[in-house]
Amino acid sequence: MNSFETGRKAEQAAAAYLERHNCQIIVQNWRTRLCEIDIIAKRDNTIYFCEVKYRKTNQHGSGIEYITPSKLKQMHFAAESWIHRHRWPGNFQLAAIEVSGEFFRITNVVKFD
């Protein structure tokens, strides 16, 4: 399996997790020429902008550890872009979903302030 296929499987696992937790998937892989968001989901009156991080093993650190301050800044920019384009009046939350192993298990979910 190549890295594109692996990334897609990880995102599918993350989307299924969100759906099991009463979230509606709005879009996967939303992109502009300046930014991208892996999954945008809605639950109640909150939009969740989710970064999916896959690691086959934690030998070199967990996926969540790869969410740097710079990545958080990029995520916030992308979320603000989507909110502006869609005129979203409600709440929003940045989140990361860690997917691990050959069976693509959800191993961690983090919400960022």
Question: What's the pLDDT tens digit per position in 4-46?
Answer: 788 899 999 999 999 999 999 999 999 999 999 999 999 999 9
Domains of the chain: 3-64+91-112 (3.40.1350.10)
pLDDT given at position 29: 95
Question: What is the C-alpha to C-alpha distance for residues 42 and 26, in angstroms, rounded to an integer?
Answer: 7
The full length of the chain comes to 113
pLDDT given at position 2: 77
pLDDT given at position 14: 97
Beta bridge partners of 25: 41
Question: What's the pLDDT tens digit per position in 39-94?
Answer: 999 999 999 999 999 988 777 778 888 899 999 999 999 999 999 999 999 999 99
The C-alpha torsion from 97 through 101 and 104 to 110, rounded to 10°, is -10
pLDDT given at position 6: 87
Amino acid at 62: S
